[in-house]
Amino acid sequence: MDKPRASKSILITAWVVILAVALFKIVLQELFDFTVSEDLQSGISAAIVLTGFALTFLWQAIRPLRAFFGLFMVLFGAQWLVLSRLDDVPFIRQLLVNPSFSVYMPVEVLLKFLVTLVIIAFLFLLKYRRQAFFLTRSDLAAPVEPVRWLGIKAGERWNTVGRNFAFILSLGTLAFLVIAGRPPLNIAVQALPFLPAILFAAAVNAFNEEMTYKASFLAVLVDVVGKQPALWMMAAFFGIWHYYGIPYGIVGVILATFLGWLLGKSMLETRGLFWAWFLHFLQDIWIFAFLAIGSIKPGG
């Protein structure tokens, strides 16, 4: 059963902060041609969230959002420390600029894994139990709440729906990448030695994103705003955050928002991370495979 409806003050404040954090970089770069560095992005994001956090001490109506804003501050602090400072350590920098995909990509996802560990530690302090933030074995055959526009009917279960979406999403991702990239067959074959690194990067990256941007958001928002608002807030942030991802732009935002909503739905209904991680992992295999292909110089 969904939680009681949140007040308008809580919903509006949460949406304003989420959209402000997610959109300011896009607005500055796309509308005003102002390049936003990682340090500037971290600083502005932290300032927005810190303002929201401070408001929870001054405005009692939004006090329930304090844990959510706290999560945001921990996230941006960890990202700044790891991705803007730790990656400048000479040894790590040498690995990140190594031309081999099998070297730089695993290091890149492992750095992001450090951020994920910080988020997990924060959630343990906040919730005390890993089950409270979906870091547990899923009920793989849990019932799926019907979704008419997706053709999901009453009585269907995640072991069937998850398998179907695994096939549909993977085929769609592959088709898009092939059409957009059209890699020469000989270069694709040359990327086969990168397969272990591709699988490793896909597995770790999928866990990072599902834990850091979905499970954590849902864990601190569901009890405050309700299940459906929390799901759409998380999906919107995840989608907009992928504006500069693959695929790029509005198409990427729409696809990532849908994927965020679907995978978040799986977490809430199975009470675990498996289907969200697995579906994300399959898509990332293709994405990292094409990144590996792109790292190969023709004739090299």
Residue 6 pLDDT greater than 80, yes or no: no
Tell me which residue of 131, 135, 91, 138 sits closest to 111, measured CA to CA: 91
How far apart CA 71 and CA 168 sit, in angstroms, is: 33
Judged against a pLDDT cut of 60, whether residue 3 lies above it is answered with no
Give yes or no for residue 1 having a pLDDT over 60. no
Three state DSSP letters for 213-254: HHHHHHHHHHHHHCHHHHHHHHHHHHHHHCCCCCCCHHHHHH
Q: ∠106-107-109 over CA atoms, to 5°?
A: 65
Does 228 score more than 50 pLDDT?
yes
Residue 189's pLDDT is what? 83
**Average confidence (pLDDT) over 281-300:** 84
Token pair 């070297």: residue: 103
Token pair 């990239």 is found at 181
| Segment 260-289 mean pLDDT | 96
Higher-confidence position of 227 and 252? 227
For residue 127, give both structure tokens. 């919730």
161-180 pLDDT per residue, tens: 999 999 999 999 888 888 87
pLDDT band at 183; cut points 50, 70, 90: confident
The per-residue pLDDT of the chain, averaged, comes to 91
| pLDDT value, residue 176 | 84
Residue length, the chain? Answer: 300
Q: What percent of the chain has pLDDT over 70?
A: 97
- For 81-140, what is each residue's pLDDT tens digit? 998 888 889 999 999 999 899 999 999 999 999 999 999 999 999 988 999 999 998 899
What would the two tokens of residue 90 be?
A: 């000479």
**Residue 289, exposed/middle/buried by CB under 10 A (0-12, 13-18, 19+)?**
buried
pLDDT at 18 over 80: yes
Tell whether the model's pLDDT for residue 2 goes beyond 70.
no
* Residue 279 zone, left/alpha/beta (φ > 0; ψ -120 to 50; rest): alpha
Distance CA 278, CA 224 (A): 28
DSSP 43: H
The single residue listed with the structure tokens 């009681």 is 4
Q: Would you say residue 4 has pLDDT above 60? A: no
Task: Give the pLDDT of residue 298.
Answer: 55
